[in-house]
C-alpha cells in the first residue's frame, strides 16, 4: 500500500512524503527532497511502532541539513581531494564544499534537490521511483546524468536500487545516508549495538580524512568479522580513530565473499544488509552535536550508524568496482535492508 501527503511548499517546490507498507511489521516513509528516508518503522512485541532512523521533527530542517539525514548522496559519495576529478585523462574542477575538497556531490549534490516521483502501488511489493537529471557541468562533473532510485518494500525488507547513465564519461557512486539506531529508543546511543560484516581492508585516511592510497587491515581498526560492539572503537588508540574523535568515518572494503552485514541492537532488533557494492563507509557520528531537533529529542554523539554501501574511489580498481562510468554504459547498484523485530 502507498500513501502520499504534502508537507509544505519551500522555495516554490512542494515537499512530499511517500509511505510504503504491506502486511509485514515494517513501514517506510521517504521524501522527494534528496530521496530522504525519514522513517523506518518496525512494530515491536507490544504492537507499538519504533522508528529505526534519525529524522527531523520539522520537515523544513531538511532544507538546511548538513548531515545528509536519510538522503541519497552523489554524484559521488565521499570526499574527492582538492575538488578535482580526472576522467579519461581530463581534469575537472568540482565544487569545493568541504574546505578545499569536494564532499557528497557538492553544495546541493543529489541530497538537496527535489526529485520526480512515480509510484507502483503493489499490495505486497509497493515501490516508489525517484528520478533526477543532473545536467552536464552540474557541480563540475562532466556528462548529463539520468538517475533513478527505487525503494521497494517486500515483507520486512527494504531494497534500494540505483540506476544511472551518462552521455559522457563521468564518475558515479551513489549511496543512502540513513542513520540507523536499533535500540527502539532514539535517545539511546549505538555504542552497545554490534556490527558484523566481511570487512577485509580499510582505506587509510590522512589528517583531512582523504584516502592516502593505502589499504590497512580492517581488523586493526574495527574487527567486525565476528561481530563487535561499536563501543570497541572508543577503547582503540589506533591513529586512524584519533582522527575521527574515536569514531568511524572510514571506507571498509569487503572480502570477496557472499557474507551479509549484520547490525544488531542491544534489545534484539536486527538489520541484515546485502549489497552488490565492494564496500561501505561506516560512519558512527562520533562528532555529532546536540543542536539537531530530531523527532525523538535532540541529537548527540553516536546517535546513529550509517552503512554507506558504494563504489570505491577512482584509483582503487584493484580492490573492486570504482566510481568511473563510461559514456553509454549503465551504472547499477542494489542494497537491501532486512529487519527482524526483537523476540517476544
Q: Between the CA of residue 178 and those of 37, 41, 72, 239, what are the distances in Å?
A: 7, 13, 9, 27
Nearest to 252 by CA among 221, 274, 227: 221
Residue 98 annotated in active site: no
Nearest to 22 by CA among 119, 120, 122, 117: 122
- φ/ψ bin of 6: left (φ > 0), alpha (ψ from -120 to 50), beta (otherwise): beta
CA-based angle 112:241:324, to the nearest 5? 45
Nearest to 83 by CA among 71, 92, 72, 74: 92
DSSP 3-state percent helix, strand, coil across the chain (nearest 5)? 10, 45, 45
From the list 204, 308, 324, 338, the catalytic residue is 308
From the list 101, 177, 250, 338, the catalytic residue is 177
Strand partners, 196: 262
Neighbouring C-alpha atoms within 13 Å toward the C-beta of 133 = 4
Q: Is the CB of residue 202 less than 8 Å from the CB of residue 237?
A: no
Residue 259 annotated in active site: no
How far apart CA 165 and CA 144 sit, in angstroms, is 8
Fill in the DSSP letter of residue 67.
Answer: S
How far apart CA 252 and CA 195 sit, in angstroms, is 12
Strand partners, 283: 249, 306
Q: Is the CB of residue 122 less than 8 Å from the CB of residue 155?
A: no
In DSSP notation, 25-54 reads: SEEEEEESBTT-EEEEEEE-TTS-EEE-B-
The residues annotated with a catalytic role in the active site are: 177, 308
Amino acid at each position: 500500500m502507498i500513501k502520499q501527503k504534502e508537507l509544505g511548499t519551500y522555495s516554490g517546490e512542494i515537499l512530499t512524503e511517500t509511505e510504503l507498507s504491506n502486511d509485514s511489521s515494517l513501514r517506510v516513509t521517504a521524501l522527494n527532497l534528496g530521496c530522504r528516508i525519514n522513517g523506518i518503522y518496525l512494530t515491536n512485541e507490544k504492537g507499538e511502532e519504533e522508528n529505526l532512523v534519525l529524522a527531523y521533527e520539522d520537515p523544513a530542517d531538511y532544507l538546511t541539513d548538513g548531515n545528509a539525514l536519510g538522503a541519497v548522496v552523489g554524484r559521488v559519495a565521499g570526499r574527492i581531494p582538492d575538488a578535482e576529478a580526472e576522467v579519461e585523462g581530463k581534469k575537472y574542477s568540482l565544487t569545493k564544499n568541504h574546505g578545499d575538497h569536494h564532499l557528497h556531490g557538492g553544495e546541493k549534490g543529489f541530497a538537496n534537490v527535489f526529485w520526480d516521483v512515480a509510484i507502483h502501488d503493489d499490495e505486497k511489493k509497493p515501490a516508489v521511483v525517484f528520478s533526477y537529471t543532473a545536467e552536464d557541468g552540474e557541480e563540475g562533473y562532466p556528462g548529463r546524468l539520468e538517475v533513478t532510485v527505487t525503494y521497494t518494500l517486500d515483507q520486512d525488507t527494504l531494497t534500494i536500487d540505483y540506476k544511472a547513465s551518462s552521455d559522457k564519461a563521468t564518475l558515479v557512486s551513489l549511496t543512502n545516508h540513513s542513520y540507523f539506531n536499533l535500540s527502539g529508543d532514539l535517545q539511546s546511543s549505538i555504542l552497545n549495538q554490534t556490527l558484523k560484516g566481511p570487512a577485509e581492508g580499510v582505506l587509510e585516511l590522512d589528517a583531512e580524512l582523504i584516502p592516502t592510497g593505502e589499504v590497512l587491515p580492517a581488523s586493526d581498526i574495527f574487527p567486525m568479522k565476528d561481530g563487535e560492539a561499536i563501543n570497541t572503537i572508543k577503547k582503540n588508540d589506533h591513529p586512524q580513530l584519533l582522527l575521527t574523535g574515536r569514531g568511524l568515518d572510514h571506507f571498509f572494503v569487503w572480502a570477496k565473499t557472499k557474507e551479509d552485514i549484520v547490525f544488531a541492537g542491544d534489545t534484539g532488533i536486527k538489520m541484515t544488509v546485502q549489497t552488490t557494492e565492494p564496500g561501505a563507509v561506516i560512519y558512527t557520528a562520533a562528532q555529532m552535536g546536540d543542536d539537531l531537533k530530531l523527532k525523538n529529542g535532540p541529537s548527540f554523539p553516536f546517535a546513529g550508524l550509517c552503512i554507506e554501501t558504494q563504489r570505491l574511489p577512482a584509483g582503487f580498481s584493484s580492490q573492486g568496482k570504482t566510481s568511473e562510468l563510461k559514456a553509454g554504459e549503465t551504472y547499477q547498484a542494489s542494497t537491501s535492508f532486512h529487519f527482524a523485530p526483537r523476540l517476544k
